[in-house]
Structure formats: C-alpha cells, structure tokens
Structure 1
Amino acid sequence: MGQFFTLLKGGNKPSLIAAIVNTIIAALKGGAFFLTGNVAMFAEMMHSIGDAANQFFVFIGSALSKKAPTPKFPNGFGRLVNLVCLGAVILVGILSYETIKEGWHHIQHPVASGGLAISLTVLGIAIILEFAVLYKAGKEILHEVGIKGSILAPLTTSFAHLKRAKPATKLVFMEDLVATSGGILAFVAVLISHFTGFLQAEGIASILIGLMMFYVVGKVFLDNARGALGETDEQMLVHIAHLVSDVKEVKDIQELEVIKEGEFLHVTLVAEIDASLSFATVDDIHDVLKDLILSQQGVSDVTISFDEDDGVKTWNHHKDSKTVLKTNDKK
C-alpha cells in the first residue's frame, strides 16, 4: 500500500486538479438541474461527471504507469496509462449517448425551465473554473515539450504541440476545451430559451454538447489505441538520428527505433563504427550515445549495439530541419 501512495505522488497533476474541479462543478450543476429542470444544465452535469471520473482514472493510471519493471513484466508499465484512457472513454461515450438522447427528447417535447439566475450563475462559475483548468493543462503541455511562451501561449501555442504531450495531459486539455465550449453553449442556450421562448434551444445545446463529447471519445480512443500497440514517434526518431549522426565516430545508422510507451519513449539503436576501434573506445562511444539520447525529452531507456562499418550508407531517413526538434527540447 505504501508503494501505491508513493506512485500516486508521481501521477499526472493536471488530471488530478481537473478531476477535483470537475467533481465540484458536477455537484453544482447537479443541484442546479434539480432546482431548475434545465436540460442544458443536465447535459453539462453529465459532461462534468464523465470528465471527473475520467480524469480520476487517468491520474491513477498515469501514476501506476511509472512503476518500475518487474521480473514478470520486464518491459515496465508505461502503456498502462493508455489502457486506462481507453477504459475511461467508454464511460464518456455512455454519458455522451445519454446527453444526446435527453436533448432529442427535449426538442420533441419542450418544457420551460425556471431558475434563470441559478442556471446562469452555476454555468458562469463552471466556465471560469473549466477555463482555469484548460489554461493549466495548456501550460503543462508547453512544459512537457520544453517550450516557453507568452501569457497566451497555453491557449495558442499548445495546440501545435498537442501531439507531443503526455496522454493524460492531452486528455485533460481536450476534455476541458470541450467543457469550456459546452458551458458557453449551454449559457447561450439558457438565455435564448428564456428571452425568446424557443425552448428547443436547450435540447439543441444538449445534443451539440453530446456530439463534442463523442468527438473527444473518438480522438482519445484512437490516440491511446496507437499508444497501447506501441507507436513510433517519427519526430523524435528524426531528431535522435540527427544527433547520433553528428557523433563523429558513428559512420552510419543501421537501425533506429523510437517507440512510445505511455508517457515514455524507448529507443533502440544499431550504429556502424570503424572495426579497428578498441573495446575501450567503443565503450566510451556507447556511454556518449547513451547519455545523449537519455537527455532527450521523454526518453526513459535506450538499447545500443554496434556493427562494423560496411562502407554503404544505410540510413536515408529525411533530415528536414522542420522535423528536427530544437536542442532545448530536453528534460
């Protein structure tokens, strides 16, 4: 049990913060829905419940994925966070369906809801809190990829680097982006319904929120399915190839793999060197390459082997400067 709590300390912090915030928001929205009967509020309540449960699971999964390898699981537990995310999106998918179904029912049988002040107040608080979590997740993305930016960067630059973010951070960012957008949509729908008498607006908002939730389900599912299978990080592969090629003793790269394992990258390198080098020199080259590769963002382990240079250039991967990471993108 002590080891479990120790692992929790290393869990993804944005997902824990998001889970706590969404639990509070879900309780507020649940109370508002009970008092007002507002369908848009129901959709937002379901959304927040799904997000909170999702993010609690992801936090635990991200923590357990850092468990050290064991004799029974020598490759470690890195992909556990992907499996947890895959399980978590099932819950969001169910809640998405219920949200759309309730919205459709309200469109067919519109009913006026009361408590305008309560609905707008709760939605306003929820939007502010969700936006704060979204901003925090954006900052974490920039931190994970080693980029500094302006005060607006977490809401702008973070989108460009979303693919390189850790699975848990990416899920929090996407969920809270949809949650913030959904809160604004529900806020507008409540106003339209109250001041124009177009009661179906709340049902339409509920359906749109449900569809946005389904988008997150699909996106997160595909991303984590690739992660669970073991996906090549093409950008980091080109970057590491570029660094290894710059080591003067390396004549060629015979083989290079950079595989994503949850939040970590596992690197396998076969380099060609001069056959006349002494064992001591080769050992020094091994240490230089190992330290160089392990210093890169997200790399947790590296396996290096050597072969004699055959004089034939094997490595022909494209080395476009646009795809090579900046040298400051390190831990």
Structure 2
Amino acid sequence: MGDLWSLLKQGNKPSLLAAFVNLFLGVLKGVAFFFTGNIAMFAEMMHSLGDSANQFFVFIGSALSKKAPTPKFPTGFGRVVNLVCLGAVIIVGILSYETIKEGWHQIMHPTTSSGLWISLSVLAIGIILESIVLMKAAKEILHDSGITANGLTALPKAFAHLNRAKPATKLVFMEDLVATLGGMLAFIAVLMAHFTGFLQAEGIASVMIGLMMFYVVGVVFLENARGVIGETDEEMLNHIAYLVWDDSNIRDIKKLEVIKEGEFLHVECLAEVDPTLSFAYVDDIRDHLMDILLAQKSVSKVTIAFDEDDGVTNWNHVGERPDALK
C-alpha cells in the first residue's frame, strides 16, 4: 500500500485537479438539466462527466508509469500512460456520440426548456472553473518545456510547445480547451433560444460540442497509439546527436535511437571511436557521455556501446540544432 501511495503522489497533478473539477461540474450540470430540460446543458453534463472519468484514469496511469523497471519488465512501465489514454478516449467517444444524438434530436424535434438563469449561472461557473484548469495545464506544459510565462500569455505559448507536453498534460489541456469553448457555445445557445425562439440553437450547440469531443478523441488516440508502438522523438534525436558529436573522440555514430516511453525517453547509441584508444580511455568517454545524456530533460535511460572506426561515415541525419534545446 505504501508503494502504491508513493506512486500516486507522482501522478500528473493537472489531470487530478481537472478530474475533481469536472466531476463537480458534471453533477452540477446534471442537476441543472433535471430542472430545466436544456439539451445544451445535457451536452455539457455528458462532456464534464466524460472528462472527469478520463482524467481520473489518466492520473492513475501517469502514476503507474513511474513504477521502476523489474526483471520481467526491464524497460519500465512508461507506456502504461499511453495505454490508459487510449482507454480514456473510448469513454469520450461514446459520450460524444450520445451528445451528438441528443443534439440532433433537439434540432429535428425542438422542445422548450425552462430555468434560464439556472442554466446561465451553471454554465458561467463551468466556464470559469474550466478556464482555471486550462491555464494550469498550459503553465504545466510551459514548465515541462522550460519556458516561463505570466497571465494570459501562457495560453498561446502553450500551443506553441504542445508537442513537448507530457501525454497526460496534453490530454487535460485539449479536453479543457474544448470544455471551455463548449461552455461558451452552450451559453450563447441558451441565450439565443430564449430571446429569439430559435430552439434548434441548443441542439446545434450540442452537436458542435460533440464534434469537438470527437476531434479530441481522434488526436489523442493517434498520438497515444504511436506512443504504445514506440515512437521516435525526432527533435531530441537531433539534439542528442549533436551532444554525441561534440565529443572530439567520436568518429561516427553508427546507430542512435531516442524512443518515447510515456513521459520519458530511452536513448540507445552505437558510436565509432579510434581503435587505438585503450579500454580504460573508452570507458571514460562512455561515462562522460552518460552523464551528459542523462542530464537531458525527460531522458531516463541511456545505453552506449562502441565499435572501432571503419573509415566510413554512417550518420548523416544531423540537421540544424533545435533552438529550444540549444
């Protein structure tokens, strides 16, 4: 039990915060839907409950991914978070379908809802709370990327560095971005339906919210499917190649892999050196490179091997050094 608690303390904090916020909002919106019968409110309820379930799963998955390697699983459990994210988006997909179905029913057979101020108050609370979680996720993304930002500047900067975000944080950011926009859409739709009599507005908003949820499903599913298979981090590959080449003893890089393992990176390198160097000297080179590479952000495992220089250049993949990693 102590080990489990220790792992849970390492879980992704934005996803846990988002899970509790969305659970509260889901219950609040459910009560509002019960009293008002508002279809846009139903869509928001489904969205919040789906996000809450998702984010609880993601928090647990991100915690379990920190479990240390074992003899049976020597590469560790980093990809567990990708597996959990894949399962989580299935929940969102089902709720997206239900949201679109109810919205389409409202468009084809519009009904009048009541409790205008109940709906608007609940939606306003939802927009505010979702915005707070969204900003926290944005700041977490920037923290992971080593970028500082204050106030509203964090949001556009987070978009620019979204590819560097941890899988769990990225999922929270995208879900709460859609949730905030969905709350605004629902708010506008409720006002429009009440003051213009265009009751289909609530159904249209529900369909649009469902489609945005499906977009998150598609993006997150594809990204985490690549993570489960084992995806190369191209930017870090290029950066690490530069670090290896910076050592004057390295004649060539025969093989270099930088594989994403959940939130971490595993590096495997086969380099060529002068065959006249002593074993002790080559071992010092290895120790030096190990220290440098393990100091790089997110790198948790490094394997380095050497071969004698054959006079043929094998490595020609080095491009311009990424600005963010200089």
Q: Deviations 1:6-27 (Å, cap 9, x if unpaired)?
A: 1000000010010011111111
Report the identity percentage: 71
**Superposition deviation, residue 69 in structure 1:** 1.1
Show the counterpart of 1:194.
Answer: 194
Show the counterpart of 2:73.
Answer: 73
Does the 8 Å CA contact 1:239/1:324 hold for their aligned counterparts? no
TM-score, length of structure 2 as denominator length: 0.98
Instruction: State the distance in 1 between where 2:178 and 2:298 align.
Output: 27
- In terms of mean alpha carbon deviation, does 145-154 or 259-268 score higher? 145-154
Instruction: State the distance in 2 between where 1:33 and 1:140 align.
Output: 33
Please tell me the residue identity of whatever aligns with 1:179: A
Instruction: State the distance in 2 between where 1:2 and 1:113 align.
Output: 51
Count of residue pairs the alignment pairs up: 326
Instruction: State the distance in 2 between where 1:324 and 1:313 align.
Output: 26
Show the counterpart of 1:57.
Answer: 57
1:293-308 to structure 2, matched below 5 A, reads: 293-308=293-308
Please tell me the residue identity of whatever aligns with 1:182: G
Instruction: State the distance in 2 between where 1:171 and 1:207 align.
Output: 21
Gaps of 5+ in 2: none
**Superposition deviation, residue 319 in structure 1:** 1.7
Instruction: State the distance in 1 between where 2:257 and 2:93 align.
Output: 34
- Helix, strand or coil for the counterpart of 2:198? coil
**Superposition deviation, residue 178 in structure 1:** 0.2
Instruction: State the distance in 2 between where 1:85 and 1:121 align.
Output: 32
Instruction: State the distance in 2 between where 1:28 and 1:214 align.
Output: 23
Please tell me the residue identity of whatever aligns with 2:230: G
Please tell me the residue identity of whatever aligns with 2:300: S
Show the counterpart of 2:147.
Answer: 147
Gaps of 5+ in 1: none
Show the counterpart of 2:131.
Answer: 131
Two-structure CA RMSD over aligned residues (Å): 1.0
- In terms of mean alpha carbon deviation, does 196-205 or 303-312 score higher? 303-312
Instruction: State the distance in 1 between where 2:236 and 2:115 align.
Output: 53
Show the counterpart of 2:104.
Answer: 104
**Superposition deviation, residue 324 in structure 1:** 5.3
1:158-197 to structure 2, matched below 5 A, reads: 158-197=158-197
Instruction: State the distance in 1 between where 2:185 and 2:323 align.
Output: 40
**Superposition deviation, residue 326 in structure 1:** 2.5
- In terms of mean alpha carbon deviation, does 116-125 or 149-158 score higher? 149-158
Q: Deviations 1:48-101 (Å, cap 9, x if unpaired)?
A: 000000000000000001101112212211100000000111111000000000
Show the counterpart of 2:279.
Answer: 279
Q: Deviations 1:171-225 (Å, cap 9, x if unpaired)?
A: 0000000000000000000000000000000000000000000000011000000
